[in-house]
Amino acid sequence: MQASAKPEFSVNIVTNLTTPTGRETAAALPLRMTISKVNFFYGPKQILFDIGMGIADKRVTALIGPSGCGKSTLLRTLNRMHETVNTSRLEGEILLDGQNILAQDVTALRRRIGMVFQRPNPFPKSIFDNVAYGLRINGYKGSLADTVEKSLRHAALWDEVKDHLHKSAYELSGGQQQRLCIARALAVEPEVLLMDEPCSALDPISTAKIEELMVELKNLTTIVIVTHNMQQAARVSDFTAFLLMGQIIEFSPTPHLFTTPSDPRTEAYITGRFG
């Protein structure tokens, strides 16, 4: 289900992308997605202003910023989830593998871009049926049991549930449910996995487990994560974008952003002076 050709372009597309010397930059890596000149509105109110950035392939990109800065809104445009709200309006271009996602069929797109939500939301079905859901609706011809096992292993949940696959998903703990949601998203082999504050409803131990997971998962898929926890962003991500009031203030490799931020507002946020 993965695109076979590697993305061919590597473009420095944003004016505020900093390029430190000697370190990995998004400019040098292949990009899975590119976002350019994106403006977003709920009715008359503008939420995102002139957003432009690249999502590096097989890396973790974090979106951070204070509440209300638009990071979740931006994340949700990437799989066109904003379209569930009637009054939303998107201008600009978002490319996946070079093709504008706004011009494609949304159902097909959403199979290629997966999402994990803020609070665990397993379906009212068994553990097995939760993971198999995406496979079934897409008419998967292979072995459901094998793929379900593979996904649960990728989500580090297999050992805990392998003997209880037919139990209801609601019998799992919060952290387990969230890993189940990750497995469910992984089952359809998405090219990009969007995670919207996936640990904010979880206890520290579950959070640590999922952070470990993310580092491994980037071998499988590209990850974009929204988090209000800066330390988490520093721990797990390769690139970080700092948003404030609907604009990208700074976007650079994570170590650089957190140690030597270029913009004073970034510095103020990460040192805890606001947000």
Partner 1 sequence: MTGRLRWRKFVSNFMLAMTGVCAFVSVLVLFFILGYLVFNGGTSINWDFFTKLPKPVGEAGGGMANAIVGSGKILLLASLMGVPIGFLGGIYLAEFSGKGMASVVRYAADLLNGVPSIVIGIFAYSLVVLPFKHFSAYAGAFALGIMMIPITLRSTEEFLKSVPRMLREGAMALGASKWKTIASVIVPAAYRGILTAILLALARVAGETAPLLFTAFGNRFESHGWSQPTATLPVMIYTYAVSPYDDWHRQAWAAGLVLLGLVLIINILARTILSRGFAIPRS
Partner 2 sequence: MATTTTALKGAGPVTGSRSFFAKLRDGDEIARLITLIFATTVVLITAALVWELWVNSALPREKFGFHFFVTSVWDPIMDQYGALPFIYGTMVTSAVALIIAVPLGIGAAIFLAELAPPRVSDTLQFFIDLLAAVPSVIYGLLGVFIIVPVMRTVIYPALNKPFGYLPIFKGPSYGVGFLTAGIVLAIMVIPYIISVSREVLLSVPRDQREAALALGSTRWESTWKVVVPFAKTGIMGSIFLALARALGETMAVTMVIGNTPKIAASLFAPGYSIAAVIANEFTEATGDLYLQALIALGLVLFLLTFILNGLARLLIVVTTQKGSEVGG
| Residues of this chain that bind partner 1 (CB under 8 A) | 105, 107-108, 137-139
Closest CA to 127 of 157, 106, 104: 157
Residue type, position 14, single letter = V
Residue 42 near partner 2 by CB under 8 A:
no
Residue 91 has a CB neighbour count (10 Å cut-off) of 13
For 39, 191, 195, the CA distances from 4, given in Å and listed in that order, are: 31, 11, 24
In angstroms, give the least distance from the CB of 241 to partner 2. Answer: 21
| 139 interacts with, out of partner 2, partner 1, none, CB within 5 to 8 A per kind | partner 1
* 86 makes contact with partner 2 (CB under 8 A): yes
Closest CA relative to residue 238, chosen from 14, 71, 72, 56 = 56
Beta bridge partners of 33: 55, 96
Total residues in contact with partner 2, by rule CB under 8 A:
30
Q: How far is the CB of 105 from partner 1 (least distance, A)?
A: 6
Q: Identify the residue whose tokens are 């579950």.
A: 206
CA 99 to chain centre: 19
Q: Which of 8, 114, 101, 12 is nearest to 57 (CA)?
A: 8
| Cβ contact 37:60 at 8 Å | no
**Binder among 31, 33, 81, 226 for partner 2 (CB under 8 A):** 81
Residue 138 or 200: the one with the smaller Cβ distance to partner 1 is 138
Closer to partner 1 by Cβ: residue 8 or 105: 105
Q: By CB under 8 A, is residue 114 in contact with partner 2?
A: yes
> Contact 219/58 with Cβ under 8 angstroms?
yes
Contacts with partner 2, 192-221, as mask; x by CB under 8 A: ---------x--------------------
Choose between 51 and 113: whose C-beta lies nearer to partner 2.
113
Nearer to partner 1, 11 or 106 (CB): 106
Please give the residue ranges that form the binding site for partner 2 (CB under 8 A).
79, 81, 84, 86, 107-112, 114-115, 117-121, 123-125, 133-134, 137-138, 170, 181, 184-185, 188, 201
